Structure 1
């Protein structure tokens, strides 16, 4: 039914109602329903019933306006709800409007989809606008933060820049406790000189392949299978059987250890190494907060903010700090106690050998026995093998990040504070291994280990690597490296960082590179910096008679005599070319004649860091000897060098062969107010005595005169007592 018919019927109904006349039958049939229904059905379907209309293409708003213009039916007020309910019932039974309803739904769906598409496009545009705004705000925020960071760094950089200017003008003549003049920019410039580049450079077998061609695997395997100590074939066979039963031990490359998939880096497993799955020690990384305590412990001049900035900049460069730690087991405490008694209380080499058999992986015992055999002079090969075994003990204990850095050749990013007892043992192990490599003529490998050892603490250099690194640089023909080192911040920041060896060996490096003019220029620098060494070199060469000056014409300190001797003992091996030796002689004589040294001319005197920590000698002529120089002299074992040390040095009670001049001990104590107790934390500087069982040690002292059998019985008794006292998790 069209809209025109509906309008006509509605008009007739209204007229009949006004005149009280009867409504036609057509109207009567639909009269009642029209009152109740038209609002929800008839008018809702008006546009669908008019097929001739073009309303499908009209906008929805026009349809609404047209529908509002139509006369509305009268609806009884109380039947509104019924009307709504009836409308719901009216839709289903109506058969005629089905096609029209489908058409309506399709049309309505198109309109809704179109509207939704428009809304989505609008929302999308709004989201893009919001995203652009957020992006702009984020960029502004990042830029603002960057500005603040740059401002902060600029402020701190100004602080370091001032120090750089001061140290660039002239080397610093004193040591501050944390070497603040060795700034982050100087460290960054020095990192390439501390890098081993490739982990293979720490493998002597790789150098031997380069020197002697491609060695066969059988030859290398035969060398690696040699035993450290005399061992019977029966015991060796038992070790091999245990190795097969110990999963992950050795492998084809002799670098597998149980409990980890990581390979050994600086050692290999030999046949006489007892297979075991238990590590003798552990390693941990030192975080920034704990590292600040290390620096605060020895600080004397820098502010806390300066220390924090120093730590932050080092961590930004990728530098990481580590520390070896002992595993607190019963056997380990017994081994420590017996070692302390055999070395400190009553030195006894035989008991050390027995201790090594009982505890084959006790690092301190391995290093001490190796030194005893080295002094005897007849067991160098055995001594070197024991040092390699100690190196294996440390190697298998490397922490994961430490292992990753070293395996990547990034030795310049690894630090081991000298305050840790086992860290100091690792230093000594590397020092003695370098000497062993030199005896085997593996000079390039030895130089790589020198870089590694110096990188562990480049500023402090606790074992004095600067006093011998030039030796291996010349012998390995790494002349350009030595030249770069001598002019780097590693040698120019502080006065004592430039040693006679580096200064005069750089002259030799220029000569090997056929650059005589640079050699003369470098010789002048070395002459003015170390005139006493120059005088002794002319005297040692012996081609000038008489000498142009006398020794009394030069101002000489005890340190000058010692440092000069560190180079003189190695001079004949380095300057073995007669032409180069003649050049050195002639040029030094010219300098003494044309540019004489005035006795009154003084130089800056650098104090040892440990002097600042309370390790000062009583005599004025020895108080300023750097402790790293003393350690180097003692560890070198050179009689001429050790004879130069003042007697007061040998009278110290901290000159121990296994731990030479350790840093000053400290104990950090925190008081807990809530619990009312003292919390004693692990000290920054620890020593062997911290890992000794005092009860067992006291019994050993009291029974010092007992026979060997009684001592062993006493030891077993105390070991049982320790096992009973030990918690279950640390019992073996």
Structure 2
């Protein structure tokens, strides 16, 4: 079996177990009287590879075949008693036979694999789809499976039989009515739901390493080759600088280690094991990290919720926080050394905001502060725009390393053991580092690893979803053929509690998943549900991408719906990549034509959101909306840097709000008290330091201007002298 088939098995362990159980049960039913030895299914996938360790067994089998079949090198004769005697081959003959049979077997295996690899892949695809379809049919009866949630004990919240029935009646064709603009507290999503939601997040750090995916994609990569990759530098560096770093390693104990995953956390402190990054040879060894991870106490959580829910009573908020804190742990990243961080942030702010200077910024992380996260992310963005993508990945890994070094060992990205409120500056830097790393992984072709990082990013704040994972994670899941995950997620409260959570891209991703599993009836039902929740967006998609009949959408005007236009543009930018199969596009066109015809004739009634002005006034007190547009959708649109998507952003967003590249649309105060709660880049800058640094910078500029003027005057004088002499 090829590496492509192995890759499909990576995120489907349960399906593999069901395949094995089915095969074992069928085998035991048909042949109960003939027991068979246990066979490892993974051992059968590498029949085309012969290791040296198995050469002796190969030689013994070859010798046995030679004896049984009367090979020419062995001679049979009768002994003195008339018994048939067998003359065994000599040692040299054994060696000759061993080499001959090994060569012939390799040739045969290579030819066989070359001829049958595509056929095996096709058979495996059919088998995989068959079991996926069976699982889908089993779960279709109940769109929301409450097994894990119902078994969850909670003294404050629990599911009764009637509540379970109410949730289970959420069918594939119902419209989602709950609106986030009227529920800043996410009251429709109780804490007990997280017991069921945990399975949709990442709980395995190994899946966050792209080398694991590359090893599955290219099964001929050896462990030595992967180790050589780890030994390489992450960015361009001169040999002299690399030698200096190697000398510094001798002064810093436990830096890297054999597996490149060990770092010290201070003189005399215990060794810290990295979870999702590895130390590179060009990284400067340091005794301490730059950040520390602090658990938020009750008072800090209440302040956070008072910002989020400015019109709620404090007593009610405190009760809600206590209930959530008993099940979920909240953290914030903060600087380990305030003085060093203040100086670094001040120079960064000067070089990026007040007096943009790329060279000064590059020098900042190259010499003074090599692990300054905002600087690393900003320089990585600069290298991308300059076309130098070779250094981008290394800079992003170094930024993630800063957080990995501060990460507590007991933490998993499962949605409950580590949530990071978005109001804190360095928490937002972690979100941004992951987002940019996802884009870099996708460019390298590691879509499976990118999809796992999407789950990590989402798990850090599943309800608020500050960077809009629900708007783009379906893209990587579909590229990774993770259809089962999408279908199961479509039946969970993570996607069906609020209408803003059931995004256009995700809903159409479920339709496409059913199509790839050859379940057209279920795809049709899911498309009807998608239309009930996104009628105007599908109408625009029908007209612009499918070139449908304009008369069918004559009464469906989307021009006043800013949020719908932006979300539609964001999805249509990646529509050709996902819907590249002509048969799937034909299905979407024909089914949308039927749905729109039924809507026009009155056979299918759908409520159209044509009250854009009213929507904008409803979100005045909501920190999650700007001008009726979800703020996470705006952040995603800006970070995507897609020209067609950014053009759909209202001009007032650019002029009236802070849109820094290192901190896109940071949270804004909702009350006077919340001003001190929110962290921004200015929270780490002292006004005195900023004035002093700015004055020094202006003085340097004045000196440079004087030098330029003197040089210019000297040039003029020299030219005048030459002209006079020539005359």
TM-score (norm 2): 0.68
Aligned-pair Cα RMSD in Å: 3.3
1:216 aligns with 2:226: no
How far apart are 1:379 and its partner, in Å? 1.0
The correspondence for 1:528, drawn from 525, 529, 532, is: 532
- Counterpart of 2:655 in structure 1 is 651
Matched ranges for 1:333-732 at <5 A = 333-357=342-366, 358-376=368-386, 378-398=387-407, 400=408, 403-406=409-412, 410-542=414-546, 544=548, 546-550=549-553, 553-556=556-559, 557-596=561-600, 601-602=608-609, 611-612=620-621, 623-665=627-669, 683-707=676-700
Quick one: distance in 2 between partners of 1:576 and 1:392?
Answer: 37
The 8 Å contact of residues 199 and 414 in structure 2, kept in 1 or not, is answered as no
Matched ranges for 1:95-134 at <5 A = none
Quick one: distance in 2 between partners of 1:189 and 1:415?
Answer: 17
The 8 Å contact of residues 666 and 685 in structure 1, kept in 2 or not, is answered as no
- Counterpart of 1:186 in structure 2 is 193
Quick one: distance in 2 between partners of 1:702 and 1:272?
Answer: 34
How far apart are 1:589 and its partner, in Å? 1.2
The 8 Å contact of residues 412 and 452 in structure 1, kept in 2 or not, is answered as no
Taking structure 1 as reference, are residues 280 and 651 closer, same or farther at Cα in structure 2, changes over 3 Å only? Answer: same
How far apart are 1:253 and its partner, in Å? 1.0
- Counterpart of 2:330 in structure 1 is 321
- Counterpart of 2:233 in structure 1 is 227
- Counterpart of 1:121 in structure 2 is none
How far apart are 1:599 and its partner, in Å? 9.6
SS of equivalent residue, structure 1 residue 325: strand
Unaligned 5+ runs, structure 2 = 1-152, 705-727
- Counterpart of 1:253 in structure 2 is 259
1:282-337 deviation line (CA, Å, top 9, x unaligned): 111113343223212322454445434433443443x2111000133433222111
Matched ranges for 1:246-285 at <5 A = 246-259=252-265, 260-285=270-295
The 8 Å contact of residues 202 and 445 in structure 1, kept in 2 or not, is answered as yes
The 8 Å contact of residues 666 and 683 in structure 1, kept in 2 or not, is answered as no
- Counterpart of 1:291 in structure 2 is 301
How far apart are 1:453 and its partner, in Å? 0.9
SS of equivalent residue, structure 1 residue 213: coil
Taking structure 1 as reference, are residues 465 and 709 closer, same or farther at Cα in structure 2, changes over 3 Å only? Answer: same
Quick one: distance in 1 between partners of 2:480 and 2:154?
Answer: 46
Quick one: distance in 2 between partners of 1:267 and 1:384?
Answer: 12
The 8 Å contact of residues 659 and 665 in structure 2, kept in 1 or not, is answered as yes
1:429-468 deviation line (CA, Å, top 9, x unaligned): 0111111111112112111111111111111100000000
Quick one: distance in 1 between partners of 2:426 and 2:160?
Answer: 35
Taking structure 1 as reference, are residues 662 and 543 closer, same or farther at Cα in structure 2, changes over 3 Å only? Answer: closer
Paired residues in the alignment total: 537
- Counterpart of 2:30 in structure 1 is none
Quick one: distance in 2 between partners of 1:608 and 1:340?
Answer: 35
Quick one: distance in 1 between partners of 2:384 and 2:222?
Answer: 31
SS of equivalent residue, structure 1 residue 153: coil
How far apart are 1:373 and its partner, in Å? 1.6
Quick one: distance in 1 between partners of 2:154 and 2:426?
Answer: 41
Matched ranges for 1:16-35 at <5 A = none
How far apart are 1:166 and its partner, in Å? 13
Quick one: distance in 2 between partners of 1:538 and 1:359?
Answer: 51
SS of equivalent residue, structure 1 residue 585: helix
Matched ranges for 1:4-15 at <5 A = none
Quick one: distance in 2 between partners of 1:475 and 1:151?
Answer: 38
**Larger gyration radius, structure 1 or structure 2:** 1
Taking structure 1 as reference, are residues 551 and 369 closer, same or farther at Cα in structure 2, changes over 3 Å only? Answer: farther
The 8 Å contact of residues 255 and 264 in structure 1, kept in 2 or not, is answered as yes
Quick one: distance in 2 between partners of 1:608 and 1:309?
Answer: 29
SS of equivalent residue, structure 2 residue 434: helix
How far apart are 1:487 and its partner, in Å? 2.3
SS of equivalent residue, structure 1 residue 474: helix
1:484-531 deviation line (CA, Å, top 9, x unaligned): 222211111111111110011110001111211100000111122222
TM-score (norm 1): 0.68
Taking structure 1 as reference, are residues 513 and 295 closer, same or farther at Cα in structure 2, changes over 3 Å only? Answer: same
1:131-161 deviation line (CA, Å, top 9, x unaligned): xxxxxxxxxxxxxxxxxxx997379999x99
How far apart are 1:212 and its partner, in Å? 1.2
